[in-house]
Structure 1
């Protein structure tokens, strides 16, 4: 059971309740320090070792990211953004005229625009899945899968209402008809165990600056082995065999490094970013993701209990354990999130819901501050 005081590990002022990890996760102090050390080192490039900086550090990060997916390091590509990883998926998956790509209603745009473009080029259709008020996203997706479903491009947790998709059930039905599964795990990876064997995605990506508590412009892509001989978006020098030998880079190699490395972004070694990201991922992996899920579930339940008497409650079926989206009473101010920020509470407003996303640093005083601020604005 997790019962440590995690707040001192983060630079969070006592007069702020930061309940906004789904917007941007704060980096741990140790990760920020690792990043600062990397920036300091960058002032003296003659001290930077080629093998360590260009190759060993990215490989260490790849290995830590692989643990989050339940995969091997060979299955992971280093990417700059969710949109980059989704573009990789789109460029390597087949699609024929008349087929469908499934997305969720009000899904995050990065996992919509690329599929609209692919469908337009192929003469296919993007089919948007909606759910009724008492229906889970899992039920809605299962109902929508049909003979023409070629690709389901989904999150595990919906960014606006917190609803969770049972990806194992979706995958089973999808594969029975030959469909492919592409996942944006930005709002879930690193909060619980990801069951790769049961879900079997073709591609799965995650931006690193939210629940993975890392720097912006660094993310991760899982690419199933059957696609690892596919086409990268770039033809970078560092992903080719023999790239470690700088003296022979103009002996141009036709072959790539092993596994998903061919899909790495250009300048993937990210000297200033990787040390911070690596520190954060090591910390997360060391927590035990099963225990982390339970700890975050307890926090979101405590938060909902604290504000339910005010008419704020979660009405999303099968929500993510770490993700609380509160339906608000009719008299709630339209600028509630801004008003709460003025009272020292950071949350997000998504449509008619208040999105409240804590982490391990969230403690009892944070919850009490949130409840008091909500009472002041809703009473």
Structure 2
């Protein structure tokens, strides 16, 4: 386990349990960024002449890691940019299903457009609530976070796949920002039509990079409107009607997208399956202790599907105490959000448990 902590200097100073807010920058990514900007300083356009090759490598790395053909991977600066572009590609009027209390960067952009809105309640009957709304209202698309940013509640991937099988015309659009990088994920087999993600959290790629994954059957149902010179540049974007190019209209940042490539290289070196195992051991340990201490809302704590994000009961005083002990967390909702990644250890959790007196 200790060798997984190498390359993250912040872990020498803090008990970092805050990946759900911001992932760590690995030394390998930092080194790439230093070398990239030095090359840009010295070479200027000579470096940018090769940007197509780098961006192709990034696109192929994303596709390889998450099981999506590279010609259906779009590179965007972040989730919100890609999501707003996606919403503009959906002809209106349409009926949208959303989850109550989902991430504002999902709900606000949908509410700001001319869609008819339907809401599913988040409680112990979450999946049944979704099914009932779909059966009754017949929405055109369902937008959701795979993992909820406050509670850490995770939607079952089997449920989502079954949903697509039962309602093949329903477009499933997922925010994977709090999910991608926590476990093995096969997009092609998921039944989800579009996954969008920023990469500064669980992928540890720094800020300014994100991606969109598209299923084959969704392309004819979307009409992206953005277009620019870069829409036609590079491999997989060969002609004017190219689909992913319309989500990449302008110059792309090789520094930030290149950082994603290096971050994925690191993940592949460790192995996403091993990362999943490390996260699973930590989240199981944390949930057991939090539940025993009565620190979790019962329905979220006892779900079969759960993420490494927990919102424990706590106020400003407890948050200040944790911070004073060098334990980095976030205040979200009515509690304190704890999140564990593969570079965390049982020692980190023991420090947290000690301060919490549980």
Partner of 1:279: 262
Quick one: distance in 2 between partners of 1:111 and 1:298? Answer: 30
Task: Establish whether residue 239 from structure 1 lines up as the match of residue 231 from structure 2.
Answer: yes
TM-score (norm 1): 0.83
1:81 pairs with 2:66:
no
Given that residues 164 and 319 in structure 1 are in contact (C-alpha distance below 8 angstroms), is that contact kept between their aligned partners in structure 2? no
Higher helix residue share: 2
The equivalent position to 2:110 in structure 1, one of 93, 98, 115, is: 115
Contact map agreement 2:228 2:250 (CA 8 A) in 1: yes
- Equivalent pair of 1:307/1:374 in contact (CA under 8 Å): no
Compared with structure 1, are the counterparts of its residues 321 and 67 closer, same or farther at alpha carbon in structure 2 (3 Å cutoff)?
farther
Query: Which residue does the alignment assign to 2:41?
Result: 43
Between 1:256-265 and 1:31-40, the stretch displaced more is: 256-265
The answer on whether the counterparts of 1:64 and 1:278 sit within 8 Å (CA) in structure 2 is yes
Whose radius of gyration is greater, 1 or 2? 1
Give the distance between the partners of 1:198 and 1:225, measured in 2 at CA.
12
1:256 aligns with 2:243: no
Superimposed CA distance per residue, residues 237-265 of structure 1 (whole angstroms, 9 cap, x where no aligned partner): 12215x79xxxxxxxx9933855233225
What does 1:330-349 correspond to in 2, within 5 Å? 332-349=314-331
The answer to whether 1:196 aligns with 2:187 is: yes
Extract unaligned runs of 5+ from structure 2. Answer: none
CA deviation digits over 1:62-84, x for unaligned, max 9? 11111233101111111112112
Shift of 1:292: 1.9
Q: What residue in structure 1 maps to residue 199 of structure 2? A: 208
**One of 295, 298, 303 as aligned partner of 1:318:** 303
Q: Gaps spanning 5+ residues in structure 1: where?
A: 245-252
| Rounded Cα–Cα distance in structure 1 between residues aligned with 2:331 and 2:23 | 16
Pairs aligned (count): 352
Q: What is the match of residue 30 of structure 2?
A: 32
CA distance in 2 between counterparts of 1:141 and 1:76 reads: 28
Select the residue among 95, 101, 104 that pairs with 2:99.
Answer: 104
Match for residue 267 of structure 1 among 223, 244, 251: 251
Kindly report which structure 2 residues correspond to 1:61-80, keeping only aligned pairs within 5 A, or say none: 61-80=58-77
CA distance in 1: counterparts of 2:306 and 2:166, whole angstroms: 29
Q: Spell out, residue by residue over 1:145-200, the C-alpha distance to the aligned partner (whole angstroms, 9 max, x if none).
A: 12421110011111111111124423533564422111111110111122323432
TM-score of the superposition, structure 2-length normalised? 0.88
RMSD over aligned Cα, in angstroms? 2.7
- Summarize the Cα distance change of 1:4–1:219 in structure 2 as closer, same or farther, 3 Å threshold: same
**Cα displacement (A) at 1:319:** 6.3
Q: For 1:59 and 1:319, how far apart are their aligned partners in 2?
A: 38
Give the conservation status (yes or no) of the 8 Å contact 2:80–2:105: yes
User: By how many angstroms is 1:56 displaced?
Assistant: 0.8
Matches of 1:153 and 1:271 in 2, distance apart? Answer: 30
Counterparts of 1:279 and 1:168, CA distance in 2:
31
Give the direction of change, closer, same or farther, for the CA distance of 1:276–1:189 in structure 2 (3 Å limit): same
